[in-house]
Amino acid sequence: EAGVAQSPRYKIIEKRQSVAFWCNPISGHATLYWYQQILGQGPKLLIQFQNNGVVDDSQLPKDRFSAERLKGVDSTLKIQPAKLEDSAVYLCASSLDGVGGYEQYFGPGTRLTVT
């Protein structure tokens, strides 16, 4: 079974530029998550999709971050414009369902450096 795929693996941009990350979840997984992991901290949930719909985006900085999941499969996360404090690893995860208890499977992450 193929795991969660993410691209790119690394990205370096200057502040105020824009960037986009892509995630392909495990086939058949209805729920997709984007986490932000700042160096020295645990991952923090940015947004959770159940199929096409958003069920939790309470910690997404909506003035600069946006995410979409078209057709309930792939997802993209965009930052525009980027700030220095956005430097982090962005992890995508998926699970069969979004109700508590289902195992989340994580991709390798995208390491973003904003200079």
Closest CA to 34 of 11, 14, 64, 4: 4
What are the structure tokens assigned to 17, written together? Answer: 């530029």
Which residue in 42, 62, 70, 71 binds other proteins (CB under 8 A)? Answer: 42
Which residue in 1, 2, 27, 41 binds other proteins (CB under 8 A)? Answer: 41
Q: What is the DSSP letter of 104?
A: P
Closest CB to other proteins among residues 22, 102:
102
Q: Which amino acid is at 74?
A: D
- Name 21's bridge partners: 77
56 is a contact residue toward other proteins (CB under 8 A): yes
What does the per-residue mask of binding to other proteins show for 1-40, with x meaning CB under 8 A? Answer: ---x--------------------------x--------x
Q: Is 28 exposed, middle or buried (0-12, 13-18, 19+ CB in 10 A)?
A: exposed
What does the per-residue mask of binding to other proteins show for 81-110, with x meaning CB under 8 A? Answer: ----------x-x-x-xxxxxxxxxxxxx-
Q: Is 82 helix (H, G, I), strand (E, B) or coil?
A: coil
Closest CB to other proteins among residues 68, 97:
97
